[in-house]
Structure 1
Amino acid sequence: MSRRPLNRRELRAEADAAAARGIPLGPKPARPRPESASLRPKPAAAARMKVVWAVCDVGGRTVATFDYARKADAEARVAELKAKGKGTHFLRSLKEPIGFGGTSSPD
């Protein structure tokens, strides 16, 4: 069963008459949000990181670090420490903040 079409002119006339009498029509107007609710703090920017090669001992402690482009120097340092009998050392990549001054050169 279909609905009867609404007469838009009659509805408009009723709405105008209600508005003239001061009767509110439709949904209530939205309240404005307080300023503190609409402004959210910006998230802190993550520190920029760089990848370095770290020469580590068996316990995982870093013995020396090298820039990523100097992998051959880092591998040479591992071989040097193994040859001296200073224990087992290995090479791994680490991420550290860019401003960090931990890069060292081989002795």
Structure 2
Amino acid sequence: MTEKPSPVVRITYCTQCQWLLRAGWMAQELLSTFDADLREVVLVPGTGGIFTITCDGSLIWDRKRDGGFPDAAKLKQLVRDVIDPERDLGHTDRKHRASTPD
């Protein structure tokens, strides 16, 4: 039985908008949380106001579609939902669940 390869996260950011620092910060947040669970986090320069995040080829965030940028907690939840839906993110999940009405 072969083991599934670790996921890849791609953050495509607009160089014209100077979003490299934002993309780098998000990459750092993901690597700090999912260090051994990700194969790599790739920063991809783009233009035209693009800011998208994919995980294993699935689009999980698009600035234009989703209305801005995700905060760190939301981004971690989106990645977790793709790579390991059962994983508990600790305080990130508790804060999210407390603010979600039942």
User: TM-score, normalized by length of structure 2?
Assistant: 0.32
User: TM-score, normalized by length of structure 1?
Assistant: 0.30
More helix by proportion, 1 or 2? 2
Q: Which has the larger radius of gyration?
A: 1
